[in-house]
A and B are shown apart, each in its own frame.
Chain A
């Protein structure tokens, strides 16, 4: 297995280089270093000299990908692409365009992002799996049909509606929790209740339908019939046998998400005032801060690759037939 993991990690390198390259091209198709300088220096009284100075200080005064005037290898290395990208492979993200340390910012924002993403993930998984099993338990009854209709309705509603509606009803009309905000430590709980609840409710529709389909596929198989014939109760059949055998497709979708929890949620963080990485990314895109955008895309890519690797490893845990070679 270790050889497999090492091989997969080596495969990740060209993927990361590719992602880096694509981010670079996409970013600089839309922005030029001059645009970035203007964005940072403000709209009023910006002189061409100030722009040149800003670019020179941050190394944006060099050619993007090829420096024809440089000697030898420097033709490729004395460029914005090389300078800004290579350091990231050592997880040295440098400074944002406003001069602040990116690694420090990421570390301080990871906590709030996880504080909202982790309970949402765990509670969401528990609720949706339970709800899907409940529907399967009541399969071919009015409750099952009603549940499926409810799922379709729930997944047809925009996430924004849940957020605005939830804030209005729970915080404004019923005055039960703060509308938005964040506090460190245990005090964070009262700010997180509503966004977590909204995320879970908003995610039930699509996930529960998907899991229900998986469970229904399993429940008609021979081993389930055998289990019932042995005299096992329906609950034991569902939780001990059906759930376990439906785990592989569930894990495919779930484990890969775990590392991405660090990246936060763009919409939720924005509406609930959670100072996490999701809002950091949005702010950076709005401010055309390439240093932050490329760092966040890079971290996202790394976490996604780790997630895929964890998924593969988790297969071996739930299905002994799977071998990582």
Chain B
């Protein structure tokens, strides 16, 4: 064992003055941003990647034509690879061009013409490698003995062309790829659905494994005008389309990459576009081990983008404009380490091995404290380490949905409506947020979170059916009001006024475990205040989803993260034709209100302005009156960062933000050394303990070996 201790000391002595550094010694002092990921990304192909853990990578690698301004709020679209924000041209059914202010009903087609900046180049990639004669080096012959993309000896690059954007839009319809937005985009992009059918038939006629060249088939909705210009034709008017142009779904993919990866033997070695992205963005994936470590390295061909010089008020004072005009990205590498458990992640952040971290419930009390008036600040330990706290309200909404198709809690009649309103008042969201979320939430007054057009602050934004405005702030209506509403709904004291039967409401949930039990107990108590019996039907996620799809649930928890910062992306969750039961859409409550649906269709096609605000006000009023949801909360996100991290600004919509972050590696190294000095005495104490155990054993053995069978003889 003493040998083991020596071995331990030897193994660690190679780590320099810090023994617990999880990174290679060669990375010390480098301009690297360290972060973590929990779930391995399933898809890195931009046609498929959609979830947060995927887009975190793809958004840094691929460049869509547009992006969000990093600092300005409300969110503002700016060009990325495009030269300017495209202004749509509108046409009627006869093909005549209409003025920009033409009524949406008259518009049969919108055309977006996008011109990209010349001179943008792809990252080095073997799919683009050519010999002197211009022939592609690796489009024939398969991978050979090569195991990874990095084993290919030569790489190449070429200029980004409009054709690459058109090619990616074609890929949305590829029969072997499953783009989550294909269904939605088929409704808008002219001919995309038919193009999908054509590709499906073409794929069937090809021998298995043969490359399907998408350029061979015509897609009328996408036209390449010249080398740097392309047009997208949409059915009708769809102003939200510009937001889609910020996402990797509309990023460029060179046809060569598809050709390269389609060779026999490639997929067997995971040499696919889903595993090895190819982009024009600030970073490229240089290490791809999603089980342990993924590394983004500066794309040597990326240029032309600089740090913004203007933001919103307060940004200058916060130091967010200090890097104005500097070329992006500001770090050479981003290292993502896989951390499946929160405890090691948190401890490594405190040791300085991660540059930033969220705050889990387990570590909340260690990180954050509340002042007497409820203001949030960092704990003294965090302040002593120079850690900064950033808070923001997410562009998300969490709610408890009523199934409007249910005969008891659903329907637009007075009985169901008053019952829902009563429950909405009784479920005290302020208390829920305080108990279960450590205050990290904002009680919702409607589906629209702050920062989304249509949301109103102050008195104008209060849900008058749930709150009163008292002393300059909203105050939840009393339980007596809820009881009165319940009685008016025909359930005085929670019993049927006619039969005396108790009112029983079923909650379907996926929650199990200790935390869920506490939440369910709290909910049951809230319903008890109304005299209503709550029956909790816990089930697994699949069964739960199944119940929602079939409309078999009565009350359920649900939530939505915005795809883009537009009210349409929240209110479509209550649009009748999106009903889960009828159309397998995203309206899980199956809410249908003819006036709301009419207004939604109108609002959707409107530009932001007073007229749209008025329509939104009316829509929100309808929702508050009908109460298809218990208006839950908008989560607040709390983030921590070390003193050597600069320029981080919370953004729940933009994903390509890593290029703006700057780190001070010298300060980081100094702090790491200061915080992680090895404590050596336990090693010596351990060795001494072993000796203390062995010594009496040895003495005992020696004594017994030398002892005589009978004392006093010889």
> Contact residues of A with B, CB < 8 Å?
30-32, 35, 38, 40-42, 44-50, 53-54, 57, 98-101, 104, 108-109, 134, 137-138, 143, 164, 167-168, 170-183, 187, 189-191, 193, 233-235, 270-273, 275, 279-280, 283, 287-288
With A101-B269, A270-B340 given, is the CB distance from A45 to B22 under 8 Å? Answer: no
Q: Which residue of chain A lies nearest to B545 when distances are taken between CB atoms in the complex?
A: A38
Q: Is B376 an interface residue (CB 8 A)?
A: no
* Residue on B nearest A46 in the bound complex, by CB: B180
- Which residues of chain B (15-53) have a CB below 8 Å from chain A? 15, 18-22, 24, 40, 42-43, 50-51
- CB contact between B339 and one of A101, A143, A180 (< 8 Å): that residue: A180
- Scan residues 661-714 of chain B and give those whose CB is less than 8 A from a CB of chain A: 676-679, 682-683, 696-697, 700-701, 704-705
Pairwise interchain contact A30-B542, C-beta atoms closer than 8 A: yes
- The CA of A175 and the CA of B681, in the complex, are separated in Å by 12
In the complex, what's the smallest C-beta–C-beta distance from B515 to chain A, in angstroms? Answer: 17
| B504 beta carbon closer than 8 Å to chain A | no
CB closest chain-A residue, reference B14: A190
CB distance from B635 to the nearest CB of A (A): 17
Chain B residues positioned under 8 Å from A44 (CB to CB): 50, 180, 563, 586
Contacts A40-B42, A138-B700 given; indicate if A176 touches B545 (C-beta within 8 A). Answer: no
A173 to B677, CA, bound (A): 10
Instruction: Give the CA-CA distance A290 to B533 in the complex, in Å.
Output: 39
Which residues from chain B sit less than 8 Å from chain A, CB to CB?
Answer: 8, 11-12, 14-15, 18-22, 24, 40, 42-43, 50-51, 175-176, 178, 180-184, 267-270, 272, 274-275, 289, 291-292, 337-341, 343-344, 347-348, 350-351, 540, 542, 545-546, 563, 584, 586, 676-679, 682-683, 696-697, 700-701, 704-705
Q: Which of B20, B51, B178 contacts A179 (CB 8 A)?
A: B20
Q: Are A45 and B175 in contact (CB under 8 A)?
A: no
Please determine whether B267 and A101 come into contact, CB atoms closer than 8 angstroms. yes
CA distance A134 to B694 in the complex (A): 10
What's the minimum C-beta distance from A13 to chain B, rounded to whole angstroms?
Answer: 28
B584 in contact with A109 (CB, 8 Å): no
Query: In the complex the two chains form, what is the Cα distance from A137 to B704 in whole Å?
Result: 11
- Residues from chain A with a CB closer than 8 A to the CB of B181 are 45
Minimum Cβ distance to chain A for residue B555 (Å)? 20
| Residues of B contacting A: mostly | loop
Known: A45-B586, A171-B20, A177-B19. A273 touches B338 (CB 8 A): yes
A179 to chain B, nearest CB (A): 5
The verdict on A175 contacting B343 (CB below 8 Å), with A45-B183, A193-B11 known, is no
B679 and A99 form a contact (CB under 8 A) = no
A137, A176, A191, A270: the one within 8 Å of B701 (CB): A137
The smallest C-beta distance from B308 to any residue of chain A, in angstroms, reads 30
Residue of B292, B563, B700 touching A275 (CB-CB under 8 A)? B292
CB–CB A176/B183 < 8 A: no
**Contact of B22 with A181 in the complex, beta carbons under 8 Å:** yes
The binding surface of chain A is classed by DSSP as: helix
The answer to whether A98 touches B340, judged by C-beta atoms less than 8 angstroms apart, is no
CB pair B347–A172 under 8 Å, yes or no, is yes
In the bound assembly, the distance between CA atoms of A182 and B350 in angstroms comes to 19
In the complex, what residue of chain B is closest to A275 when comparing beta carbons? B291
In the complex formed, the residue of B with least CB distance to A192 is B11
CB–CB B178/A41 < 8 A: yes
Given known A42-B50, A47-B584, A101-B268, contact A138–B697 (CB-CB < 8 A): yes
Question: Per a CB cutoff under 8 Å, which of B51, B340, B344, B679 touches A174?
Answer: B679
B542 touches A273 (CB 8 A): no
How far does the Cβ of A115 sit from chain B's closest Cβ, in whole Å? 12
Contact assessment for A273 and B344 in the assembled complex, using a CB-CB cutoff below 8 Å: yes
Q: How far is the CA of A125 from the CA of B546 in the complex (A)?
A: 49
The answer to whether A32 touches B705 (Cβ under 8 A) is no
Q: Give every chain A residue within 8 A of B20 (Cβ-Cβ).
A: 171, 175-179
Residue of B nearest to A108 (CB): B291
Assembled-state Cα–Cα distance A287/B40 (Å): 11
Cβ of B540: which chain A residues have Cβ within 8 Å of it?
30
A167 with B679: in contact, given A40-B42, A191-B22 (CB under 8 Å)?
no
Cα separation A175 to B19 with both chains bound (whole Å): 7
Give B538 Cβ to nearest chain A Cβ, in Å: 15
The 8 Å CB contact of A187, one of B24, B176, B704, is B24
Cβ-defined contact, B705 with A180, below 8 A? no
Question: Across the interface, do A42 and B51 meet the contact criterion of CB distance under 8 Å?
Answer: yes
Asked whether A50 and B180 contact (CB < 8 A) given A193-B11, A279-B291, the answer is yes
Assess whether B682 is in contact with A176, with CB atoms less than 8 Å apart: yes
Residues of A near B683 (CB, < 8 A) are 176
